[in-house]
Structure 1
Amino acid sequence: MVRGIGAVLVLLCWTTAVAARNYTLRDEITGRKFLDAFYFWAYNDPTNGTVEYVDELTAVANRLAYVDPNGRFVMRADNTTLIPSGKGRPSVRIHSKRKVADGIIVGKFSHMPQGCATWPAFWTCTTERWPRGGEIDIVEGANDQGPRNLASLHTLYGCHIPGGSRSDQTGFTGQADCSYQPGCSASFNADQSYGPGFNANGGGYFAVRRETRPGDPGIGVYFWPITTATSSLPAAVAAAADGTSAPKYVVTNSNATGNDRTELRKWGTPAAFFANTPNATASQAALATGQGSVCQMENYFDEHEIIINLSLCGDWAGETFGYSGCAARYGNVSCETFVRNNPAAFSDARWEIDFLRIYDNSASSIHLNLVGCILATVLSIALLL
């Protein structure tokens, strides 16, 4: 009986820990820290792009990855070389060495790749057999089409979100079925959230709040143009990347009080929102037809790597190269021919990243679990006495 009481106390403490939506700052990545926090993907492009992803030594030696005078980490495509047939233009794709699960990722970008044939992406993805374990696309587009960003999910079959305009997001959901390709997606309503418009405005902030455990709301993707007043931004977004200004934790649940409550209001409505709707609460119509909301996210999302890359042509930019207007602009050549023969066209095909900031619940959970286990042990001993 005494052992049972102790076990119950430990279980209660564990449940309390994992249910907390108190995310602790784990990493703030700036400048050369990107070389420590990420590895360079030097393999064939899984999306069939006309690119050659290079390793870190090659990228640094050829200034395809470097830190600029403003301290920003820059990664870009080659813009000087004529590429022989059958080869791809050198470019960069990086993956985080540490995985992320539920929590918050904030990125400040001063520039993103632009130009015909470009396909830039800032995303997180499972390391399992895709799409098992899920994918979250935070920033993505092709051939400068937009001028608005597209955020998407890719999952196994069984995850759906309502289409159209909704009160829980400012964007518009055009694809409601999250499975495989093309996945479910929402286009932003901010004209300066992607490509040339984003760059002309001086950049901006993107964030994703992933909350996929039972009882959590789901996945929200946020955007603020660089012109947004600092006082209107959550501190986790607005803080300078100096290692000390960013808040050490962020509370996202409705029980927040005081300053935490004020900060929570500053997040506002996400540009794209994907609801965590368990099967038990989904409508029969949603379960039967996929029309409406049903996505028990614990079944679809595991730990992810953070990925930032620039592909050229491939399954999206290549397929849309013609009707984007790019083909006509360059003599109706194919996307692949354009990429190989026009190096100067990629002078603006670069990421300039001010910082990435990662919050998760690992630190708080470990701390709470340790305290809870100690408390349970002490109480069990007391009962034995």
Structure 2
Amino acid sequence: MYMYIILLLSLLIYPISLARPGVRLPYNPDRRLLPLQPHSSDSNRSVKREEDLSRRMYSQEELRSWSSGEREKRQMRWEQQIAYEGKTFFDGWESFTQPDPTLGLVTYVDNSTAFKKGLAFWTGDGKPGIQVDHFSTTPVNTPRDSVRITTKSMFAGGLFIIDMALMPWGCGVWPAFWTLGYQAEWPTAGEIDIVEGIQAMTNNHTLPGCEINQAPGMYTGQLGNTNCDSTTGGSGCTIGSDSQSSFGMPFNEAGGGVFAMLWNDNGVRMWDWNRAQIPSDIKSNSPTPDQWGTPRAAWDASTCDPYKFFQAQVLVLNIDLCGVWAGALYETFDYCPGTCAEYISDPKNLNNTVMLLNYIKVFQQTGTSPIPEQAHDNSNLTGAGGDAPLNASEVNASVRQSQSSSAVIPNSSEGSSSGLRGIRIPSWWSGLILGVIMILTI
């Protein structure tokens, strides 16, 4: 009898994994969205969520149904929902450690490795930063350690502001601040590239049906591709900033600056300012986008439904090297010598691969309830960036293989079927059931 009890316990401790033969998912099929835990109310803690439990909270769906008159009647303001800054900046982020989906010459490391190697750090005055390894000489075509981090919190609309003190730049260097849909594979839930560069380009990646409205006067930036569909190619729709100092060395020489993205029922709009031009309402933490004038870029709701094509998003920061955008266009820049792989193998060429951040803040309109879920892992958050083709990585290839085999992609409300279609059986239950059956049959 003791032998059967031991057998049963061992089955419980060592779960049996159910998997559909021939299907390789690029993420954990038992992925869950964890309940969102409120951040500490300690005023010294930078990453905090503003809450007032005494007032009625409205879902973002409710807010979208209100008329402009009703919004004015209720005195809707932009209030800070969450802030990432200072010594607690990294508390709200997870490290992405999968192979680079855009085939760059980088290895994204975990949190502890990043801090141990100085790739994630704070300056002496408490400013957070990330950087690429530019301390060691590496053989040509050898990836360098770098950082890609993703927020635990998700956002479906809002006002997003990033204040950057220093931006990476240089031949083959590819930094980005962007958002990516969490609850479905890329590009199903959308991607919004706020600042990304080997050039100051702003990209959106979506399913078919989203395009840029080309009516005059909607934005000041330079129009690129107008079709946002990234299901057959990854270029998405692009608008480049018309500012000569919104990226790279000119941006740093101007003291850095601020980028803002407004995502509401009117669509998606973006602005950027150098340090001396930052609006006073942003400095006072009371942003008023209606007073910022014509945006640099705009994706109007009339030609791109902002809630159909962009579902709940996480924020992403990363620094890439070479890859399918920076590497592919490397030779088009006359001042970049040799090949991208050769150039980045010498650490002396990578002195400008540091990103310093004053803060990243997310604002919501008065009374808006935050998404009550938290991103648990980011192993399926591939994304594209630049003009990466959809099939540029084995990760995306395996996604299509999974979909063609009728694999159920899990999300926050529906479980996936791992071997039993439409039914989720937790692996510890499978062990218990098998153990009981064995005992009863002996």
Under a length normalisation based on structure 1, what TM-score does the superposition of the two structures give?
0.73
Alignment of 1:126-275 (within 5 A): 126-127=181-182, 128-142=184-198, 145=199, 149-163=200-214, 166-180=216-230, 181-211=234-264, 216-228=265-277, 233=279, 235=281, 237-239=282-284, 246-247=285-286, 263-275=288-300
Contact 2:84 2:90 in 1 (8 A): no
Match of 2:340 in 1: 335
Task: Indicate yes or no: 2:101 matched with 1:46.
Answer: yes
Match of 2:367 in 1: 364
Decide whether aligned partners of structure 1 residues 72 and 14 sit closer, same or farther in structure 2, where only a CA change above 3 A counts. closer
Alpha-carbon distance, 1:366 to partner: 4.4
**Which of the numbers 337, 349, 355 marks the counterpart of 1:351?**
355
Decide whether aligned partners of structure 1 residues 346 and 14 sit closer, same or farther in structure 2, where only a CA change above 3 A counts. closer
Alignment of 1:280-291 (within 5 A): none
For 2:149 and 2:84, locate their aligned partners in 1 and report how far apart those are by CA, in whole Å: 13
Match of 1:312 in 2: 321
Which has more strand, going by share of residues? 1
Percent identity reads 29
Task: Indicate yes or no: 2:331 matched with 1:322.
Answer: yes
- Aligned AA for 1:131? P
Contact 1:17 1:364 in 2 (8 A): no
Alpha-carbon RMSD across the aligned residues, in angstroms, is: 2.4
- Aligned AA for 2:340? C
Alpha-carbon distance, 1:26 to partner: 1.0
Contact 2:177 2:195 in 1 (8 A): yes
Contact 1:109 1:354 in 2 (8 A): yes
Decide whether aligned partners of structure 1 residues 75 and 18 sit closer, same or farther in structure 2, where only a CA change above 3 A counts. farther
For 2:163 and 2:102, locate their aligned partners in 1 and report how far apart those are by CA, in whole Å: 26
Contact 1:207 1:221 in 2 (8 A): yes
Under a length normalisation based on structure 2, what TM-score does the superposition of the two structures give?
0.64
Alpha-carbon distance, 1:166 to partner: 3.0
- Residues matched between the structures, number: 301
**Secondary structure of 2:327's aligned partner:** helix
**Secondary structure of 1:297's aligned partner:** coil
Extract unaligned runs of 5+ from structure 1. 1-10, 240-245, 251-262, 278-293, 368-385
For 1:350 and 1:217, locate their aligned partners in 2 and report how far apart those are by CA, in whole Å: 35
Which has more helix, going by share of residues? 1
For 1:148-180, what per-residue CA distance to the aligned partner results, in whole angstroms no more than 9, with x for missing partners?
x211211011111134x8301111212100111
For 1:79 and 1:51, locate their aligned partners in 2 and report how far apart those are by CA, in whole Å: 12
**Secondary structure of 2:136's aligned partner:** coil
Alpha-carbon distance, 1:360 to partner: 2.4
**Secondary structure of 1:221's aligned partner:** strand
- Aligned AA for 2:261? V
